[in-house]
């Protein structure tokens, strides 16, 4: 009798787990299902009011159309250049700064860390007009450099803040040993600290990449020229219906826009979760 | 020279030696590039914004710029109905989204904290809405509620809830509803991860003790989990509220702030003033008020952080 009840409870638990899982998977994936499904449905179907939950025919014509009608490869390239350069640039500046904050005690350190946190909380709209004027003065409107600088105003404070935590977590003894063995402090950073804190650096890099790939407002304001447009700016014109482009092609572009961040996510998934909990206010 | 010599004396402890090996300028040299850049693209622009808010300044007639002191702020707070409406809408937007997100994220986090075979995969799946680009999120929800091709209309018609297709996005409440739902979906993974991280750090023996004392599932949640989780819930609420109240991208992508001013939150209003009407003095005043509100919230956050991260001391 007792065994039976135990078996019943075990089955009941499994059933609940399956129901819970199904609900979560449905909520998380169902909206994106429409992107994929519409992107492979032949376009002319969408002149008529004909909503199908499963596509009757499958085609890749929408994807071809995207590159025929629009210089979509240009937009894709723009996004790639901006996002990856923002990652490299931000990390290059943030790593030494974060290491210095984490390891050395110097005058003004406390004040600077605090200001960094406060600066990070300045809303985007405050910076919008001043940055526009600065970039105009420097002749950087509609350039990669300009947009990357603007994105860095968000990503650098974030990366420094995230990396301080990672560097602090490394035992000091490692560098001390390196110093005793004749390394310079800089050599200790490059040969000992960097390899060991790679998970943190990778996490920071992924966050910056996803943020820079997704951000819309700066790209919209500072880089909306045809040659320099990034994907979110292009998608915005689609959403407004100003483009005369139909849902099939729009969803094809949405799929391609999602692919790179999704790939990055799949490869580096385990690093992300540690980074997410380190506290992010923006982006 | 003396320092270096002392550094090599065997009587000096290891840590001491480590400090002596440093050059005084090195910490500053390492932070200098970041500090210079942050000054140029964050500090200087922020100060410029504060300064601009004291001027009557319009990009379309820059030569007529004049200093007006606090007049912009006076006008905002006492004469501008759109601004006051935007303040209310900011609270409505932030409040509704953050509460719905929490109500959704808490059970999901508790579920993911159970032990079962496919937990790792499910955890990754939960993160997907957060990974999907904001512009794509906007497209998804605009499509689902589209007046002609939307699946929501179709579903409601088939179920007999509505007679004919409704242009949700053109409706004041409808458009707010769409943006809020899109944001809840896009943002809730972040909350799940924060809550899950907290749940996993709780010591297991408390649950053992509760079980031995005869506590059921609900009781051990109510008296063991919830009290421990409360600080994290409050922190996440604060962080998300700050984030949502200055968020522009999704609202602007889906609605442009419209129809009319139906989705004007404070940042959208500021953006509209600056980007469309070119009234940058007035727009800066709106943005600065938002920043001041956020700085108050930030104080609470920083106090929390200082308790948990010792290196700020």
Mean pLDDT on B68-97? 93
Mean pLDDT on A165-178? 84
| Shortest CA distance from A232: residue in chain B | B135
Is B132's CB within 8 Å of A32's CB? yes
Mean pLDDT on A16-30? 95
- pLDDT score of A252: 93
- pLDDT score of A69: 85
Range from A41-45, A81-85, B305-309 that averages highest in pLDDT: A81-85
Which of A96, A125, A251 shows the shortest C-beta gap to B270?
A: A125
Supply φ then ψ for residue B56, to 5 degrees. Answer: -90, 105
Res. B214: pLDDT tops 80: yes
Looking at residue B113, the DSSP 8-state letter turns out to be T
Coil vs helix vs strand at B39? helix
Q: Which of A130, A150, A214 to mutate to test the interface with B (most CBs of B within 10 A)?
A: A130
Q: Which of A230, A268, A213, A99 is nearest to B124 (CA)?
A: A268
Partner A contacted by B82 (CB < 8 A): no
* Chain A residues within 8 A of B42 when measuring between CB atoms: 119, 122, 127, 153, 157
Q: Which residue has the higher pLDDT, A1 or B253?
A: B253
Res. B224: pLDDT tops 60: yes
DSSP chain A: -HHHHHHHHHHHHHHHHHHHHHHHHHHHHHHHHHHHHHHTS-GGGGTS----SS-SS---HHHHHHHHHS-HHHHHHHHHHHHHHHHHHHHHHHHHHHHHHHH---TTHHHHHHHHHHHHTS-HHHHHHHHHHHHHHTT-TTSHHHHHHHHHHHHHHHHHHHHHHHHHHS-THHHHHHHHTT--HHHHIIIIIHHHTHHHHHHHHHHHHHHHHH--HHHHHH--STTT--HHHHHHHHHTTTT---HHHHHHHHHHHHHHHHHHHHHHHHHHHHHHTT-----
- Sorted by sequence, the CB contacts under 8 Å of residue A182 that are 6+ apart come out as none
Res. A129: pLDDT tops 70: yes
Neighbouring C-beta atoms of residue B33, cutoff 10 Å: 15
Any alpha helices (H) in chain B, and if so which ranges?
Answer: 2-8, 14-20, 26-38, 44-52, 71-79, 81-112, 119-131, 134-144, 151-159, 172-200, 205-212, 217-220, 226-245, 249-255, 266-271, 280-308
CA A117 to chain B, closest CA, distance in angstroms equals 8
What is the per-residue pLDDT across B12-27, written as a single tens digit (0 to 9) for each?
344 444 454 456 888 8
Mean pLDDT on A147-163? 92
Mean pLDDT on B230-246? 90
Q: How far apart are CA B174 and CA B166, in angstroms?
A: 10
- pLDDT score of B2: 37
- pLDDT score of B11: 38
Distances (CA, A) of A210 to A175, B128, B181, B190: 32, 12, 22, 14
Is B38's CB within 8 Å of A116's CB? yes
Is B37's CB within 8 Å of A31's CB? no
The whole-chain average pLDDT of chain B stands at 86
Coil vs helix vs strand at B298? helix
Is B30's CB within 8 Å of A34's CB? no
The share of chain B scoring above pLDDT 90, in percent, equals: 47
Is A117's CB within 8 Å of B114's CB? no
Partner A contacted by B103 (CB < 8 A): no
Distances (CA, A) of B118 to A13, A14, A22, A214, B194: 14, 12, 12, 30, 20
* Chain A residues within 8 A of B193 when measuring between CB atoms: 273, 276-277
Res. B10: pLDDT tops 60: no
Q: How far apart are CA B287 and CA B266, in angstroms?
A: 7
pLDDT band at B176 (very low <50, low <70, confident <90, very high): very high
Res. B145: pLDDT tops 50: yes
Is A176's CB within 8 Å of B17's CB? yes
Q: Which residue has the higher pLDDT, A175 or A130?
A: A130
Mean pLDDT on A42-71? 77
- pLDDT score of A224: 86
Res. A77: pLDDT tops 50: yes
Structure tokens at B302: 């920083």
Q: How far apart are CA B263 and CA B93, in angstroms?
A: 9
Please tell me the least confidently modeled range out of A45-54, A194-203, A246-255, B58-67.
Answer: A45-54
CA B22 to chain A, closest CA, distance in angstroms equals 7
Which residues are B56's β-sheet partners? B66
CA A22 to chain B, closest CA, distance in angstroms equals 10
Which of A97, A130, A215 shows the shortest C-beta gap to B31?
A: A97
What is the per-residue pLDDT across A185-243, written as a single tens digit (0 to 9) for each?
778 888 888 888 888 899 899 989 999 999 999 999 999 888 999 999 999 988 887 66
- Enter the ipTM: 0.90
Res. A109: pLDDT tops 50: yes
pLDDT band at B1 (very low <50, low <70, confident <90, very high): very low
Q: Which of B251, B1, B292 is nearest to B138 (CA)?
A: B251
Q: How far apart are CA A116 and CA A125, in angstroms?
A: 18
């Amino acid at each position: 009798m007792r065994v039976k009840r135990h078996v019943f409870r075990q089955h009941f638990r499994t059933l609940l787990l399956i129901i819970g899982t199904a609900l979560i998977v449905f909520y998380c994936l169902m909206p994106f299902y429409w992107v994929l499904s519409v992107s492979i449905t032949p376009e002319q179907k969408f002149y008529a009011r004909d909503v199908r939950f499963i596509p009757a025919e499958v085609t890749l014509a929408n994807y071809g159309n995207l590159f025929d009608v629009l210089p979509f490869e240009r937009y894709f390239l723009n996004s790639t250049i901006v996002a990856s350069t923002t990652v490299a640039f931000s990390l290059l500046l943030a790593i030494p700064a974060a290491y210095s904050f984490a390891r050395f005690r110097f005058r003004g350190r406390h004040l600077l860390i605090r200001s960094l946190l406060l600066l990070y909380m300045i809303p985007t709209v405050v910076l919008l007009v001043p940055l526009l004027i600065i970039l105009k003065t420097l002749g950087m409107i509609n350039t990669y450099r300009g947009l990357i600088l603007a994105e860095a105003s968000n990503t650098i404070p974030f990366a420094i803040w995230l990396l301080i935590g990672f560097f602090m977590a490394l035992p000091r003894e490692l560098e001390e040993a390196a110093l005793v063995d004749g390394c310079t402090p800089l050599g200790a950073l490059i040969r000992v600290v960097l390899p060991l804190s790679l998970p943190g650096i990778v996490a920071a890099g992924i966050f910056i990449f996803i943020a820079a790939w997704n951000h819309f407002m700066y790209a919209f304001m500072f880089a909306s020229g045809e040659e320099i447009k990034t994907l979110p700016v292009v998608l915005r014109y689609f959403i407004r219906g100003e483009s005369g482009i139909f849902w099939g092609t729009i969803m094809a572009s949405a799929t391609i826009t999602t692919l790179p961040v999704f790939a990055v996510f799949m490869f580096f998934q385990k690093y992300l979760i540690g980074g997410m909990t380190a506290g992010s206010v923006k982006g | 020279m003396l320092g270096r010599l002392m550094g090599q004396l065997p009587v000096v402890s290891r840590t001491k030696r480590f400090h002596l090996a440093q050059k005084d300028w090195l910490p500053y040299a390492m932070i200098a590039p970041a500090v210079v850049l942050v000054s140029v693209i964050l500090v200087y622009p922020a100060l410029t914004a504060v300064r601009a808010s004291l001027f009557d300044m319009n990009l379309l007639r820059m030569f007529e710029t004049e200093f007006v002191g606090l007049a912009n702020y006076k006008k905002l707070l006492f004469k501008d109905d759109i601004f006051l409406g935007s303040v209310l809408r900011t609270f409505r937007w932030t409040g509704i989204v953050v509460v719905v997100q929490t109500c959704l994220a808490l059970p999901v986090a508790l579920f993911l904290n159970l032990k079962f075979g496919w937990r790792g995969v499910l955890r990754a799946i939960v993160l997907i809405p957060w990974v999907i680009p904001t512009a794509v999120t906007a497209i998804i929800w605009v499509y689902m509620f589209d007046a002609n091709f939307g699946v929501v209309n179709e579903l409601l018609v088939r179920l007999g809830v509505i007679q004919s297709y409704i242009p949700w996005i053109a409706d004041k409440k409808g458009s707010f509803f769409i943006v809020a739902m899109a944001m809840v979906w896009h943002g809730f993974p972040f909350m799940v991860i924060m809550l899950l991280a907290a749940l996993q750090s709780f010591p297991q023996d408390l649950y053992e003790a509760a079980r031995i004392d005869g506590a059921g599932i609900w009781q051990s949640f109510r008296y063991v989990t919830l009290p421990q989780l409360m600080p994290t819930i409050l922190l996440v609420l604060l962080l998300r509220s700050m984030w949502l109240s200055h968020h522009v991208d999704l609202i602007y992508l889906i609605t442009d702030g419209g129809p009319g001013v139906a989705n004007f939150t404070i940042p959208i209003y500021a953006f509209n003033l600056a980007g469309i009407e070119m009234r940058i003095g007035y727009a800066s005043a709106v943005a600065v008020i938002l920043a001041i509100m956020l700085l108050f919230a930030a104080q609470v956050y920083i106090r929390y952080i200082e308790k948990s991260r010792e290196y700020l001391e």
